[in-house]
């Protein structure tokens, strides 16, 4: 029984340009969301493990950027930057899921408690894949050839 299907895409030059544009926008979004998490990490960590309550005050902690808070912020991104409106929403949400996964792996470590290296920002050409989690509907497919 076949559970998945694999399709070969043959995009036109215009579609290739669109996908490359989407990859660049997703790369920027990935870097921005990762930077938000690093900024939170730097603002809320402390080099010492204890401190006298009398001599130094404890600053209130900033809210941690979570998957859901960053996902909610995507609406603001689409309002401020019109080019993000072209990208399917679930594809952008997958970018945030990737950030969540890499950042949590860095903080928690693996099953043995060993932490991996700090997540890197993606340079040009280093963000290579788009994910379309929704099933493809027949009305989204436009064929050039009539059968």
Q: For 7-22, write each residue's pLDDT tens digit.
A: 778 888 998 899 899 9
| Tally of CB atoms within 10 A around 101 | 12
54: left (phi over 0), alpha (psi -120 to 50) or beta: alpha
Q: For 18-58, write each residue's pLDDT tens digit.
A: 989 999 999 999 999 999 999 988 887 766 656 655 555 56
Q: For 83-97, write each residue's pLDDT tens digit.
A: 999 888 899 999 999
3-state helix, strand, coil in the chain (%, to 5): 50, 0, 50
Radius of gyration of the chain (CA): 20
Q: If DSSP codes are grouped into helix, strand and coil, which group holds residue 101?
A: helix
Token pair, residue 138, equals 């027949």
């Amino acid at each position: 029984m076949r559970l998945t299907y694999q399709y070969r895409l043959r995009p036109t030059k215009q579609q290739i340009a669109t996908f490359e544009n989407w990859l660049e926008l997703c790369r920027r979004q990935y870097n921005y969301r990762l930077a938000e998490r690093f900024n939170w990490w730097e603002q809320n960590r402390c080099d010492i493990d204890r401190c006298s309550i009398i001599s130094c005050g404890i600053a209130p902690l900033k809210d941690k950027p979570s998957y859901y808070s960053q996902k909610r912020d995507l609406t603001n991104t689409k309002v401020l930057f019109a080019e993000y409106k072209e990208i399917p929403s679930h594809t952008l949400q997958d970018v945030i899921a990737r950030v969540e996964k890499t950042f949590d792996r860095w903080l928690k470590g693996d099953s043995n408690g060993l932490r991996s290296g700090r997540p890197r920002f993606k340079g040009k050409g280093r963000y290579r894949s788009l994910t379309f989690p929704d099933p493809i509907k027949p009305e989204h497919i436009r064929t050039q050839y009539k059968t």
